[in-house]
C-alpha cells in the first residue's frame, strides 16, 4: 500500500494564514476554502481574487464550501441560505469541487449548480457532539449516495473507543465501492490517521488557525509522518 503525504491531506484555508506560505503546499492534492470563515473578517469583493491567487500558486484540486452554521463547529458564522447559494454560484467557475452538507436545505440546489458546471460534489455530514452508531452512519451514507456525489464526507467527534471503531468499520467496508473521507475529530489528533489506512481519501489539516477539534497543522502532519515512517509506505 502506498502512502504519499501530499495526496493524503486537504489543507484548509480561511484567508488569514496563507500570505507567503502557499509555496509550502503547492503540491498537495487538495485545498479546501472555508469561505464562511473568510467572510467573517473580509469583504466579499476580496473573495474571487483570493481564490484566483491560490489557483495560480498551487497545483491542487480546490474545494469551495460555505459552511452551514449548524455544522460550522465552535463559534460558527451564520450566512443565510439564500446568500450561500449566491456565493456558490459566484465561486463555481474558480473551484474544482463544492462541499455541501447532507442535511442542508440547499443541498439539491448546490449539487445542481456544481453538476451543471461540470464540477465535483462532496456531500458532507459533521457532528461535533458525538459519533452516531453504525446503523445511523450507514443510513447517512445511503442518503448521501442518492445525490450521486463524487465524495461522501463524514466528520464526527470521537469520545470513546467504540466511536473510533464505528468509524473504522464504516471506512473499511464502504470505501470498497464509494469514495469516502472519514474524519475522527477529538482530542487525539492521531486518530485522524486511522481512516487513511482503511481507504479514506484524505484528512484535513490547517495551514494556520485550526477549525476543528484535533486538527493538525500541515507542518505537524508532515513531521508526524516522518517520525512514524508513514511517508511513501508501500
State the catalytic residues.
126, 153
Reading the block at residue 17, the C-alpha cell is: 494564514
Cell of 54: 491560490
Q: How far apart are CA 28 and CA 39, in angstroms?
A: 24
Amino acid at each position: 500500500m502506498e502512502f504519499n503525504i501530499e495526496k493524503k491531506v486537504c489543507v484548509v484555508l480561511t484567508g488569514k494564514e496563507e500570505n507567503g506560505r502557499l509555496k509550502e503546499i503547492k503540491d498537495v492534492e487538495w485545498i479546501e476554502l472555508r469561505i464562511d470563515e473568510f467572510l467573517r473578517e473580509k469583504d466579499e469583493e476580496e473573495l474571487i481574487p483570493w481564490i484566483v491567487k491560490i489557483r495560480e500558486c498551487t497545483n491542487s484540486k480546490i474545494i469551495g464550501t460555505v459552511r452551514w452554521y449548524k455544522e460550522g463547529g465552535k463559534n460558527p458564522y451564520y450566512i443565510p441560505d439564500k446568500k450561500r447559494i449566491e456565493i456558490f454560484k459566484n465561486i463555481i467557475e474558480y473551484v474544482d469541487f463544492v462541499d455541501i452538507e447532507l442535511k442542508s436545505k440547499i443541498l439539491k440546489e448546490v449539487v445542481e449548480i456544481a453538476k451543471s458546471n461540470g464540477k465535483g460534489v462532496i456531500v458532507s455530514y459533521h457532528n461535533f457532539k458525538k459519533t452516531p452508531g453504525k446503523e445511523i452512519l450507514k443510513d447517512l451514507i445511503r442518503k448521501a449516495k442518492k445525490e450521486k456525489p463524487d465524495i461522501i464526507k463524514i466528520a464526527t467527534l470521537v469520545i470513546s473507543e467504540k466511536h473510533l471503531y464505528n468509524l473504522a468499520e464504516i471506512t473499511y467496508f464502504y470505501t470498497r465501492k464509494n469514495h469516502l473521507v472519514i474524519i475522527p475529530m477529538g482530542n487525539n489528533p492521531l486518530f485522524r490517521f486511522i481512516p487513511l489506512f482503511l481507504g479514506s481519501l484524505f484528512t484535513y489539516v490547517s495551514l494556520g488557525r485550526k477549525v476543528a477539534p484535533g486538527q493538525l497543522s500541515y507542518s505537524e502532519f508532515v513531521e508526524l509522518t516522518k517520525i512514524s515512517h508513514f511517508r511513501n509506505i508501500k
